[in-house]
Amino acid sequence: DAKTTQPTSMDCAEGRAANLPCNHSTISGNEYVYWYRQIHSQGPQYIIHGLKNNETNEMASLIITEDRKSSTLILPHATLRDTAVYYCIVRVEAGGTSYGKLTFGQGTILTVHP
Amino acid sequence: ETGVTQTPRHLVMGMTNKKSLKCEQHLGHNAMYWYKQSAKKPLELMFVYNFKEQTENNSVPSRFSPECPNSSHLFLHLHTLQPEDSALYLCASSQVGQGSYEQYFGPGTRLTVT
C-alpha cells in the first residue's frame, strides 16, 4: 500500500474552512484515497473516499490532484466538534472477498478554536 | 440499537482475571475487526473475521482470544493480561465485496490492567 504523509497538527478558526493536506506520491493507479477522523477517545469515523475525481458529501470535500500524488480534505465550515485526528489512508479497491484492511498512521490533529 | 456497539465501555481488570469484550453490529455486515489503540500510537489491527472465518491475526499474543459466533457478534476474550495491554479496544465492521473500505467503528472499550 502507498504510504501517506500528513502534517502532525493544524489549527483552524471556527466557521472557516479547514484544509487538510495529504501526500501520497507513490500511489498506484488502482488505489483509492480514504479519510477517517477520530474524535478524542471515540472510534474512527469514515468521512469520504475517492479515486481521481473530486468528491463531496454532507461532511466534506475531497480534492485529488491530477497526478494523484496528493489530496486535500476540506471541511467547509469548521466547528468546534470537528476537532479530531484526521487520517488519510490509501488502499486498493476492495473486491470479491477482500475485507479491506486499513492501516492507520499518526494522522493530523486538527484543533478548531473559537 | 444502531451501528456498532461495544460493551463494556470501561473495564479495569487484574493481571490474573479473565474477562471478555463484546461487539455487536446492526448493519448487516459480513466482516468484523478488532483494533488496539495504545496511548500516543496509531490504531493497530489485531484480528479480522471475514464471513465468520478468522482471516488475519497480526501476531497478537495468545492471551487475547477472539471469537466470532455469527456475522453480527464478535468477542475478545482476555486472560492473564499485562499492564502494557491497557488501551482502547475498538471493534469495526464492513461489508465485504462492495468495493469500499468503509468501516464502521464502535465507541471502544477502555481497558486498564492493574
Model confidence pLDDT, tens digit, residues A59-114: 999 999 999 999 999 999 999 999 999 999 988 765 555 556 788 889 999 999 99
What is the nearest CA distance from B74 to chain A, expressed in angstroms?
Answer: 16
Q: How many CB pairs under 8 A join A and B?
A: 72
What residues 50-89 of chain B have any CB closer than 8 A to a CB of chain A? 50-51, 55-56, 88
Count CA within 13 A, CB hemisphere, residue B94. 23
| pLDDT confidence tier of residue A29, bands split at 50, 70 and 90 | confident
- The beta strands (E) that lie in chain B are given as 4-7, 10-13, 18-25, 31-37, 44-50, 53-57, 64-70, 73-79, 87-94, 104-105, 109-113
- Partner residues linked to A73 by β-bridges: A20, A62
Is it the case that residue A32 has pLDDT exceeding 80? yes
For chain A, give the percent of residues with pLDDT over 90.
Answer: 74
Q: Can you give the pLDDT at residue B36?
A: 95
pLDDT of residue A102: 81
What is the nearest CA distance from A18 to chain B, expressed in angstroms? 22
Which residues of chain B make contact with A100, given a CB cutoff of 8 A? 31, 94, 96, 100-101, 103
B42 touches chain A (CB under 8 A): yes
Q: Does residue A10 contact residue A110 with C-beta atoms inside 8 Å?
A: yes
- Say yes or no: A102 contacts chain B, CB-CB below 8 A: yes
Helix/strand/coil for A81: helix
Place of cell 492493574: B114
What is the model's pLDDT at position A72?
98
| A105 part of contact set with chain B, CB < 8 Å | yes
Q: How confident is the model at residue B95, as a pLDDT?
A: 85
CA B103 → CA A17, A44, B35, distances in Å? 26, 9, 12
What residues of A are in contact with residue B96 (Cβ under 8 Å)? 94, 97-100
Given a contact cutoff of 8 angstroms between Cβ atoms, the answer to whether B42 and B93 are in contact is: no
Inter-chain residue contact A43 with B90, CB threshold 8 Å: yes
Minimal C-alpha gap between B88 and chain A (Å): 8
Confidence category of residue A1, pLDDT binned at 50, 70, 90: low
The pLDDT, as a whole number, for residue B74 is 96
pLDDT attached to residue B100: 64
pLDDT attached to residue A63? 97
For the stretch B37-96, pLDDT in tens is 998 788 999 998 887 677 777 789 999 999 999 989 999 999 999 999 999 999 999 887
The strand pair at B109-113 and B10-13 is best described as parallel
Residue B69 C-alpha cell reads as 459466533
Burial (Cβ within 10 Å: 0-12, 13-18, ≥19) of residue A6 = buried
Do residue A94 and residue B107 have CB atoms under 8 angstroms apart? no
